[in-house]
């Protein structure tokens, strides 16, 4: 009888070890799945309407989800460009502030609140100087909060409009 209890106890210990190994494998599989389904938002700056290039007086921001999962609750903040506000952009059938699916692009237009003086250079800005940043905060499908930061810089003074050209110089993903 004692030998039978000992065998049952030994079997129970081995089943417990196997069960904890299976639980660890399931946890690792879920973590790998979460890491594989992450959105990555890439930012490009385009000109508004017929302008030759994006400028500090207005531009279209194209936010593309280049990751492998959807981006939810996208919040776009301009830092260092106080005279620009978000204007009405063309409506996209697939992307919005609430959801940017994989491979889709959200277009956001930003325009100056007041027209600049023609031919007058903005004080504080010079050619090839940092002009500001675009901060993108968003959630992934597993409620992980992520952020992308794109740094903007001036390209050159545009004589006709009295503003500077604008481009993305660097971008940091997943801060």
Residues of the chain with pLDDT > 70, as a percent, come to 82
**What pLDDT shows up at residue 101?**
92
CA distance 68 to 34: 10
| Least confident segment among 15-19, 36-40, 84-88, 157-161 | 157-161
**What pLDDT shows up at residue 99?**
92
**What pLDDT shows up at residue 18?**
92
Other beta carbons within 10 angstroms of residue 55's beta carbon come to 24
The domain defined by 37-173 carries CATH number 2.60.40:
yes
pTM above 0.75, yes or no: no
- Closest to 46 (Cα-Cα) out of 100, 101, 97, 110: 110
Question: What digits encode the pLDDT tens for the residues 22-45?
Answer: 998 888 887 776 666 788 899 999
Q: pLDDT grade, residue 51 (50/70/90)?
A: low
Other beta carbons within 10 angstroms of residue 116's beta carbon come to 16
CA distance 98 to 142: 15
User: How does DSSP classify residue 119?
Assistant: T
CA distance 12 to 175: 46
């Amino acid at each position: 009888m004692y030998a039978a209890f000992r065998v049952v106890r030994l079997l129970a210990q081995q089943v417990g070890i196997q069960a904890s190994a299976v639980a660890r494998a399931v946890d690792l599989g879920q973590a790998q799945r979460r890491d594989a389904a992450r959105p990555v938002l890439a930012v490009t700056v385009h000109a508004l309407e017929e302008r030759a290039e994006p400028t500090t007086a207005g531009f279209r921001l194209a936010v593309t989800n280049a990751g492998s999962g959807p981006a939810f609750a996208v919040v776009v903040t301009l830092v260092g460009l106080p005279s620009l506000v978000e204007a009405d952009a063309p409506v996209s059938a697939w992307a919005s502030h609430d959801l940017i699916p994989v491979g889709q692009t959200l277009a956001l237009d930003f325009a100056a609140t007041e027209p600049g003086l023609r031919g007058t250079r903005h004080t504080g800005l010079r050619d090839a100087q940092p002009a500001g940043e675009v901060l993108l905060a968003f959630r992934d499908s597993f409620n992980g909060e992520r952020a992308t930061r794109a740094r903007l810089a001036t390209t050159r003074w545009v004589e006709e409009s009295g503003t500077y050209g604008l481009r993305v110089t660097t971008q940091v993903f997943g801060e």
